[in-house]
Each structure stands twice: as C-alpha cells, then as structure tokens.
Chain A
Amino acid sequence: MPVIEATDVRKTYRRRGKPPKAALDGLTLIVEHGGVHGFLGPNGSGKTTMLRCLLGLARADSGQMRVLDHTVPKQLPTVIGDVGALLESPAFFPAFTGLLNLRLLARAAEIPDTVVTAVLELVGLEDAADERVKGYSLGMRQRLGIAAALLKEPQLLILDEPSNGLDPAGMREVRELLRRLGDTGVTVLLSSHLLGEVQQICDTVTIVNHGRLVKSGPVSEVLAQASTGAVSVGISDSEGAAAVLSAAGFTVHLDRTGIIVDGVDDGSVVSRALAEQGRFVSWLMPVQVDLEQAFLDLTSDGEPS
C-alpha cells in the first residue's frame, strides 16, 4: 500500500491581470512505504504546490489524494500526527528561542519536553536552544525545522529542500539522518534541487515538470533509461585511434581524457576493432549518466515524455 497516492491532481492559480497558471496539471505521485523518495523538478514545476495540497495548506481543484491510507484533505486530521513536514523555509516566531518554539508545538500535542531536548540534540542545536530564532543562521533555522518535523516521530516525513543553507558538514549529517530514517521504516519524501543529494540517498524518484509527471521509479532505473550507451576509451594515440574507429563505422569524438564512442552497448567491440589495427586500449569504461544529466534530459524540452 503506497504511503502517498495522488492521482490526476490539478491546481490552477488565478493571477490578477494575467492568464491563470496551472501549477498542477494532472500530476500523479506515488510513494511506496519505507525508504527515501526523491521529488525532483525545475523551479515552478509544481513540487511545493503538490506538497501543500497533500498537507492541506492549499486546495487542489481536482484529483484524488491519499496519505497513509486516508483521503486528504478530508481525513488529514486523523493522519497528521504521523506526518512530519518541513516546507521551504522553516517558520518560527523569531523573538522566541528555538527551545520555546518547539516546546509550544510539543505541548499542544502533549509531547513531553524530553522529546524536544532529544530532537534538538539530534539536529545539533542543543547549544543554541536558548537563543532567539531571529539570531539563527539559515542553516540553524533549517535544522530547527527538521527538529520540529521529527517531534511527532512521524511515519511519513515530507521535507522540501531540507539542505537549504546548511554547510557541507550539516548537509552530510542531514543526509545520513534521512538515510537512516528511510532504513528504519520511516518513509521520507525529499523534494530537492540538489540532484547529487537525491542520487546519493534516494531509493526512488519522481521527476515532474510543468505540473506533470515526467518519470518515476527506482533511481537506478531512471538512470538506466537515460543512459546514452557511450564508452570512454583511454589510448596512447587518441587521434589515430579515433580515425581507426571512425573508419570502422563508430561515432566518436575526442574529449580531454580520451575518446568517447557513442551508441555502443558492448565495449568489447571497440577494443577488438582497435586491436585488429594493432592498437591497444589503456582503459575502457561506460560513460556514467548521473541524475543531473538524466534530469536535464527529461525536463529540457519542457514536455513530459
């Protein structure tokens, strides 16, 4: 049973003096239980709007949404205790300390103060707990937002750009935390622009553009589908070897490390063609497609595939 099951969700914003803008144009988002699910899309692709609709902050025009097997927004009050969320920049009373902000949230839900202390330690804010939030850096606010989302010990954690403002060490800690949560049964939905981050910690990914689903599935599958089938060849006389391969019918071009041979499923045919001409490769490896390239390929034309 998916933890999030949203199908054909539509949301149009009316704009004064401008034509209406479809933020969600029949978007479908399925997130299975457990693990970390990446939610990718360019700016304005509808990611945050989708999360807002799921969390009852914005009203979808149409579509079906279920969270933890409950229809939302109607049954959101039933499941909200199991959903932790951080949307965009965290929102706290700036004149209150970090500790007081969390305590007020926790007390409203009868969560003991010991949990507040624990989540502050978890995100590394224990030393700054008694400082006013307005004195916090963006990264500290982000950590406080994550702490607030974790207060409920949620089954589903929805995070929108949680690494915003964090330094490299902080980003690494958050990634480790999310990965660990994903491994221990919590389902993490991570909306992020940091494709490397998504590739590192996500098991599955949904890519959206123009409010529509572009691609969804395990990260490895998305990468495999975007694979170019190119191999990179290292050889002593690159130019001469490239001429040999061209004459043999391969599509080649030189880069700073060697030769790139496109459209090759099996690297052995390249090494054989070169060996037959008395040329021997130093190394040969498939060109890896990273998520960034896959993302750009999938979203560059502006239309879903």
Chain B
Amino acid sequence: MTLPTLAARPTHKVLPLLRSEISRISHRRLFRIFALVLLGGIIVISAIAFANHHSVAVAPDNFGTNTPYRAKQVLPVVALVTSLAVAGIAFVVGASSGGAEWSSRSMTLQLLWEPRRLRLLTLKWLGLVVVMLALALVALLLALGLGALTASMRGTWTGHLPNHFGDQSLGSLLALMVVRGFVFIAMAATIGYAIAVLVRNTGASLGVAFIYFAVAENALRIALMKYGPEPYLLSTNAVAFLIPGGLDVPGRVLTSSQPDQNGMLLGPVMVHLSNARALFTMLVYTALISIPAAWSFARRDVS
C-alpha cells in the first residue's frame, strides 16, 4: 500500500466548493423524488387540462370543462401554484439537507476541509439556492410551456387578465410572477436551511415549521385579533408577494360607539399588502432566522 502523490496541493477555491455542494444536493434522494413527483405532476395535470378543454366552446359539463383553455386566466394561476409547490419543496429540501449534514456528522468532515465556517455555510446555502432555482426554472418552463401548448391547441389567447392584475400584458405579468417566484423559492430554501442549522436536526426543523404555520399563526390570529396580526404573518405575506398587485387583508379592528352602515360596531381596517411590502416583511423573517443561524454556526462547537 502506498499513498498516492498529488500533482498539486488541495485548493480552497469558491467555485469547486460550490460545484461540489450543488452536486451533493442534487444527488440527494429526497430532492430527486420531489423533483420527479413535481415534474411528473405537472405533466399529468397538463395532460388532464389538455384533454378537458376544447378550442371551440361546447356545452360545458358539470365540472366547467369542455370550455376553451383561456391562457390569460389560467397561466398566471399555473405560475403561482408552481412557484408555491417549488417553494414548499425548497423548504423541505433545505431543512432536510441541513439536518442530514448534522445527523450524519458530514458537516464535521466538511469543516476538516474548509474550516472557515461562514464561508462554508454561505457556499452551502448558495448551492441549495442554485439547485432549487434550477428546479424552479425547469418546473415553470414545463408548466407554462405545456399551458401555452394547451392554450394554442385547445384554447384561446384572447380575453382579459383578471381585473385586479391591472392592464399589463400576459408576458410581462408572467415574467414578473416568475421573478417573484424565484425570490420566494430562494427565501423558502433559506429559511428551511437556517432552521436546520439552528436546531441541527431535520425532524426538529420540519416540526418548527409545522408548529409555526399550523399552530402559532392561527393562535396569533385569534389571540391578537384586535391588533390585526394578519399583515405581519409569514404565510399572508408569502401569498401577497406572489399575487400580482398584492393582497388586501384585514388589519387592526376598529371599535366604534356608532354602528356602521351594516349595523356593525366592530370591523377590521383592510390593509393593502403590496408586493414590495410583502417582500420586505419576508426579508425581515428570513433575516430573523438566518442571522442567528449563521452566528450559531460560526460560534458553536461541532461534535
């Protein structure tokens, strides 16, 4: 047995490390299963849509099918739903890849190769985001492409966008939705990974997310109803960010000694969450989770 001789000393460049990280995430079975299910699901749903629409309107059945596939009505929804689905996957893959690195102790091994912790963490995060955005790109191209095909063969490009989407063209609307979708997916992956870095466990990070969305947000809605927590909740802002033009949500509840025109003494003030405001709120959430995660990763001992 003899030790091999290297032609050059090991390097610590950014790009090879990033490439290795991208390769590591894309080789994960969970990611591959999710990607397969997502892309397969898009194909199946698109095929169903194709089969159930006709270019010339015939008598619609009870399910509203047999009508033309209206691109301007459907494609924005396709972009929205696809972005949400990829964001969900990004969160789970982020939490799972972060958790797996701790449970398998491979993080320890990697720190023996790149001891600059923040650099390693940044590259790992970047690798995750790149992989998830690549999946998002493929999924959105596939979903919108198949939708466009269906509209061309079994539907129509004429008609109007939904009223609250404004008077922009379908192309610019979709382009902006895709860009916002990318930002949202990157944030979902970041939050998932950051929680995993904080708690160092996949199950615990998914549990934290479940408790937040299923319990904490609803508890806040009920407990703080008077103060109108809705505009500040993560899930509300996520939807407000993705929907073109934003979302109107109930805010602070006003009390009045005089009943309003509907005879009500109480009523919430409607708050408009623009895309920009929702983005800002989500960035605050992302920072609130990511900064402690990075600090903890840089400071805590690794076993």
Contact = CB atoms under 8 A, between A and B. Distances in A.
Nearest to B6: A153
Interface stretch (A112-120, A211-219, A254-262): A112-120
Interface of A: 52, 55-59, 73, 76-77, 80-83, 85, 87, 89-96, 100-101, 104-105, 107-112, 114-115, 118-119, 122, 148, 150-153, 173, 176-177, 180-181, 184, 186
A109 B115 contact: no
B159 to A, nearest CB: 48
Contacts of B299: 59
Interface stretch (B100-108, B197-205, B289-297): B100-108
Contact of A56 (B17, B23, B107, B115): B115
A87 B113 CA distance: 13
A59 B301 contact: yes
A109 B12 contact: yes
B12 A56 contact: no
B10 A92 contact: no
B10 A110 contact: yes
Contacts of A93: 24, 28, 100, 104, 106
A73 B115 contact: yes
A277 to B, nearest CB: 57
Contact of A108 (B28, B29, B113, B116): B113
Given A110-B11, A153-B4, A58 B301 contact: yes
Interface residues of B, number: 41
Contact of A55 (B11, B16, B28, B112): B112
A76 B111 CA distance: 11
A221 to B, nearest CB: 29
Contacts of A118: 4
Given A87-B108, A91-B109, 8 more contacts: A57-B303, A92-B109, A94-B104, A107-B20, A112-B7, A153-B3, A153-B6, A180-B2
8 closest A-B pairs by beta carbon, nearest first, are A91-B105, A109-B10, A118-B4, A108-B20, A58-B301, A81-B10, A56-B115, A57-B302
Given A77-B115, A82-B9, A92 B106 contact: yes
A272 B7 CA distance: 66
Given A81-B12, A108-B20, A118-B4, A76 B115 contact: yes
Interface of B: 1-13, 16-17, 19-21, 23-24, 27-29, 100, 104-116, 299, 301-303
A148 B109 CA distance: 9
Nearest to B300: A59
Contacts of B105: 89, 91
A181 B290 CA distance: 43
B115 A105 contact: no
Nearest to B107: A91
B115 A108 contact: no
A109 B19 CA distance: 11
A122 B114 contact: no
B157 to A, nearest CB: 45
A123 B11 CA distance: 24
B197 to A, nearest CB: 16
Contacts of B107: 91
Given A77-B12, A108-B113, A112-B7, A91 B302 contact: no
Contact of B115 (A80, A94, A95, A104): A80
A96 B27 contact: yes
Nearest to B23: A104
Contacts of B115: 55-56, 73, 76-77, 80
23 contacts: A55-B112, A55-B115, A56-B115, A57-B301, A57-B302, A73-B115, A77-B12, A80-B113, A81-B9, A81-B11, A92-B106, A92-B109, A93-B24, A93-B106, A100-B27, A104-B24, A105-B113, A107-B20, A108-B21, A109-B16, A119-B3, A150-B3, A153-B3
Q: Which of A56, A81, A91 has the most CB of B within 10 A?
A: A91
B6 A115 contact: yes
Contacts of A180: 1-2
